[in-house]
Amino acid sequence: MVDDNILQDLFSEGRSFKHISIFFSVVVVLLLYHATVFFVIMGDEISIKDNEKSFTISFTEVIDEELESRTIDDGDREVIEYGVSENLFSEYDGFGVLYIDIEYGETSGQFADPCDSVSADISPTGVDADWDNEDNVLAGTSSSCEIISLVVYVFPEYNSSNLNVSGENKEYWEMQWKNSSYGVGTFHLEVEVNVNQPPTSGIPTIQDDDEEVTITWRSVFFTNNVEENE
């Protein structure tokens, strides 16, 4: 074997003791290098991880609710605004989520009058929010008098669930979940009504030409609570 020949040459009587010394010196250097890497470099990384603090972040929520009713004519599309000022949640750390419910019923009072068709959507303008959140519901329709429910996640990555984090300090994580700029401004909700006429609509005195809708705005504000884990 080639390896056997190398060793035989290295330790042969014809080779000087100098070669043997070089061989063992190289071995010792390699062992010292690996020991240094493990005990110094890796040891520092292990020590840092062991000393790194971890925290649990929880949230307390408060809900502010507002109702508004509108009568919308057949074929019309109205813009309904909901303004949020910074003073509205000055006592909290942030504006988490906005829920919008659009309710209506057939109010013509005519016999066998079917539910009208109502569509609603909220445009991603006028407010700094997490508009790209995949859990947002920004549009909906109904032709069966069911509630249309929309959702806008305002504070980025907020979903009310507890979080476990590590590194930094308590004050750092408190500031990460404290921002009064998200959600400040005016939300624009567009609602359209298309009337479905009753079977008696051919009678001149009977017609259905509008619908009343009720909008419920539910704003979820939160405060954060950061606790260091033992």
pLDDT at 32: 72
Q: To which residue do tokens 């260091």 refer?
A: 228
3-state secondary structure of 169: coil
Domain positions in the chain: 2-51, 56-228
In terms of residues, how long is the chain? 230
56-228 CATH, one of 3.90.45.10, 2.60.40.1120, 2.60.120.380, 2.40.50.180: 2.60.120.380
Contact criterion met (CB below 8 Å) for 101 and 209: no
Element (H, E) at 172: helix 170-176
pLDDT at 64: 94
pLDDT at 126: 84
Rounded alpha-carbon distances, angstroms, from residue 220 to 45, 111, 151: 41, 41, 11
State if pTM tops 0.75. no
pLDDT at 209: 74
pLDDT at 35: 64
| Tokens at 91, concatenated | 């006592």
Give dist(CA 212, CA 217) in Å, integer: 16
Q: What is the DSSP string of 117-141?
A: EEEEEEES-SB-S-TT-TT-B-EEE
Contact criterion met (CB below 8 Å) for 90 and 180: yes
Low-confidence ranges of the chain (pLDDT < 50): 2, 10, 47-48, 204-205
CA-angle at 158, arms to 152 and 161, nearest 5°: 120
